[in-house]
Structures are given as structure tokens and as C-alpha cells.
């Protein structure tokens, strides 16, 4: 599952790069947001897993919706 996730993430970033090169001449910007692990209703994980994820996060905590907004 992590390989598929990583591949999809890389594809999204390359797509954004290609799109930016295509439309940049017209003054259109393309951005990619990769917020990492974010606390949402969809995050269903045991506390030990959450601790592991937080330990791998440079921020040192789970992201919050406000961080992304």
C-alpha cells in the first residue's frame, strides 16, 4: 500500500510540474500541497500508530485542518 501511495504522490507532483510548464507562460501558477498526516475524521488509527506517524513528522505533531486551509 505504501508503494502505491508514494507512486501516486510522485505522479501528482510531476503532473503539477508539467502543467506549470505548460500554462506558466500565460501567468498561471500551479501549486501542490502535501500536508502529510493530518488529523481528520478519516484518520482511524490506534494510538501507537499515531505516535509512530508523529515521530516521522518534521513538525512533531499531526497536522490540523487549519494548517492546510
> Which residues are the active-site residues?
5
**Residue-by-residue DSSP string for 7-46:** HHHHHHHHHHHHHHHHHGGGT---------SB--TT----
Amino acid at each position: 500500500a505504501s508503494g502505491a501511495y508514494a507512486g501516486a504522490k510522485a505522479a501528482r507532483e510531476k503532473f503539477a510540474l508539467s502543467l506549470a510548464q505548460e500554462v506558466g507562460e500565460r501567468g498561471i501558477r500551479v501549486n501542490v500541497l502535501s500536508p502529510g498526516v493530518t488529523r481528520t475524521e478519516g484518520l482511524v488509527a490506534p494510538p501507537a500508530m499515531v505516535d509512530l506517524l508523529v515521530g516521522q513528522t518534521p513538525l512533531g505533531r499531526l497536522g490540523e485542518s487549519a494548517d492546510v486551509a
